Amino acid sequence: MSLQHLAQRLATASRPSRVIDAELACFFVFKDLRPAEPNDFDGKYGYSAGNIKVEHGFLQADAYTSNIDEAIALADRLLPGVWYLMARGKMRAHEPLYGARLMFGDEVIGEGESDHSQALAICIAIIDALKKQGETK
């Protein structure tokens, strides 16, 4: 998985996604783990989207794409000292409903928009900032 792959997944998400939450957690927090799959848990029983596979069971990823507090905590973890601006509303019909801007002082380092959740917009802004910084995996 790459930063570009995560950017694409977030940009095309039609709603907050526990699967994307697990992908974000594995990429940024639990780098030696992977998102779980249904077959990891003897079929559909015991599996839920957002699971992260560990040796003997699973962890639940934070809800980065649906919870503003958890999305901001991810921004703080990856971009210490970052400032953030969030907006909800449309000035024009074609604009997304939610927007986020990450800043260091008056310098904009990342921006994100989403029609589906403020947390998704924050996650998109995080990925945008990291891509601009040139961080890759």
pLDDT tens-digit map of 101-117 = 999 999 999 999 999 99
Whether the Cβ atoms of residue 22 and residue 33 lie closer than 8 Å to each other: no
Tokens representing 91 are 């000035």
Q: What is the pLDDT at residue 137?
A: 40
Q: What is the pLDDT at residue 45?
A: 62
User: What tens digit of pLDDT does each residue of 63-109 get?
Assistant: 999 999 999 999 999 999 999 999 999 888 888 899 999 999 999 99
For the full predicted model, state whether its pTM sits above 0.75: yes
User: What tens digit of pLDDT does each residue of 20-46 get?
Assistant: 999 999 999 999 998 988 777 665 566
For domain 3-133, is the CATH number 3.10.20.600? no
- Percentage of residues in the chain having pLDDT higher than 70: 93
Residue 27: HSE in the Cβ half-sphere, 13 Å Cα cutoff: 23
